Amino acid sequence: MSAPPASACETMEAARIIGAAFGVLARHWKLPEADCGPVEPGFTSVAQLFATDGFLDAMLARQQQATPGLDAKGAAAFFVTEYSNLLGIIAAVAFLSQGLVPDLSARNCALSAHLPAGEPPHVRLRLLRPAGVTDRPSTVSSALLQSVDHAGLCDALGRALEAHMAPLIHSLHLRTGLPPRAMWRLVGDAVAVRFLEAGRQFGCEETAKEDVMAALTRPDSPLANRQLHFFDIEIFDDTPPRRLLARRTFRARGGCCRFYTAPGGSLCTSCVLVKPAERRRRIETRMRTDLDLPPLPCADQHGAVARAEGDDT
């Protein structure tokens, strides 16, 4: 039996909660913009865009223009990473600030994107209907805003991300040959780091890490992989009593963006192909430089600086 249609009051309540989440997004992040409303001039259904050759051609060409010599698989990897970062921060802010998982399925989203050469992009994601799942106490009890426990909310988060990205990954696989599994790993990497970023901003880093990993590691999810995780880097004073000087959490990637395949490219610091000890050394080297601390003893600086774009440790 299908759920009864939502009343006007229920729809208004859903829109209010989602509007509050998008307001938080706008206060802390310039990109992307997000709102809720109809498909208006300048917007195109995400499901339609992901199936349109012209859109895919333009997005892949944009990546290759920025990184000359990048092949089609690398361009697909770059675009999936870039787009997943935008989707990831929308999902993270809604989840962490409002306890909400919007309906992010491609059929419920429209996109307006202006990507002028040499200028910052302007991207706006629009939800067509303010549907979502929340665990917040609410008088709304229809299928529009379902009351679920926290585990159910994390499960809904993972499924919402999959529903949005699946059509794009399918189209890019057919177009470039990049395996879907490789792209799903990049989606998980991007979403995880955006949750970490939002958790720092909102003062709930530990909760953000736990929640996003619960969403991304569901056994039946294409997002699940054993390499993706969070880890801490701690820097202590070299002399007794060895005071703790700095501590920061980073995300270890489960995927590879293929930058190393481009002319002059290399492995990014947090790439899954970088050995854990080398990854840790590179990150600590950079932390020490940023904090104006003495370098690591006998540190070889070769390779310590990785690709800035996308090296989002």
Determine contact, residues 63/265, Cβ cutoff 8 Å. Answer: no
pLDDT for position 251: 96
pLDDT for position 298: 63
- 130 vs 124: CA distance, rounded Å: 16
Better pLDDT: 175 or 131: 175
pLDDT for position 80: 98
pLDDT for position 135: 77
Report the amino acid identity of residue 171.
S
Tens of pLDDT, residues 237-257: 877 888 898 999 999 999 999
Among candidates 194, 93, 174, which has minimal Cα distance to 183?
174
Chain-wide mean pLDDT for the chain?
Answer: 88
**Alpha helical stretches, state H, 72-148:** 72-98
Q: What average pLDDT does range 53-57 have in this prediction?
A: 95
φ and ψ at residue 94, rounded to 5 degrees: -60, -45
Element (H, E) at 151: helix 150-176
pLDDT for position 148: 81
pLDDT bracket for residue 146 (50, 70, 90)? low
Residue boundaries of the structural domains of the chain: 13-218, 226-313
Cα 117 to Cα 67, 129, 254: the distances in Å are: 13, 32, 31
pLDDT for position 137: 62
Tens of pLDDT, residues 275-284: 999 999 999 9
pLDDT bracket for residue 305 (50, 70, 90)? very low
Instruction: State the DSSP code for 272.
Output: T
| Pair type for strands 109-114 and 44-45 | antiparallel
Tens of pLDDT, residues 84-112: 999 999 999 999 999 999 999 999 999 99
Q: Enumerate residues 6+ apart whose C-beta is below 8 A from 37.
A: 126, 127, 128
Element (H, E) at 110: strand 109-114
Q: What average pLDDT does range 53-72 have in this prediction?
A: 94
pLDDT at 117 over 60: yes
pLDDT for position 116: 76
Token pair of 254 as six digits: 């489960």
pLDDT for position 145: 60
Helix, strand and coil in the chain, % to nearest 5: 50, 15, 40
Question: How many CB atoms are located within 10 Å of the residue 61 CB?
Answer: 11
Share of the chain above pLDDT 70, in %: 89
pLDDT bracket for residue 302 (50, 70, 90)? very low
pLDDT at 197 over 80: yes
CATH code, 13-218? 1.10.510
pLDDT for position 295: 85
pLDDT bracket for residue 307 (50, 70, 90)? very low
Tens of pLDDT, residues 4-47: 455 677 778 888 999 999 999 999 999 999 999 999 999 999 99
Share of the chain above pLDDT 90, in %: 71
Window from 242-246, 295-299, 307-311 with minimum mean pLDDT: 307-311
What pTM was computed for the model? 0.89
